[in-house]
Amino acid sequence: MEILGHSQISITMDVYTHVVQDTQREAMSHMDGCSGSAPVVSDRAR
C-alpha cells in the first residue's frame, strides 16, 4: 500500500488480490506437473 502510493489497503487488495490468486493457481499447476516425474528414492529404503 505504502510503496504503491495507495491511500487505503482496500485499494491495493482490490487491485492485486486476483494477481496473487492467479499466481497461486499457476504454481499449483506446475507442482501437479512435477508430481508425475520419477519418484524420489529415500536412502532409508535401500
So what's the pLDDT on residue 46? Answer: 44
**pLDDT of 11-42, one tens digit each?**
888 888 877 788 888 888 888 877 665 555 55
CB 31 within 8 A of CB 38: no
In this structure, what C-alpha cell is assigned to residue 28? Answer: 499449483
11: cell is 485499494
Q: What is the DSSP string of 1-46?
A: -TTTT-SSHHHHHHHHHHHHHHHHHHHHHHHHHHTTSPPPPPGGG-
Q: What is the pLDDT of residue 28?
A: 87
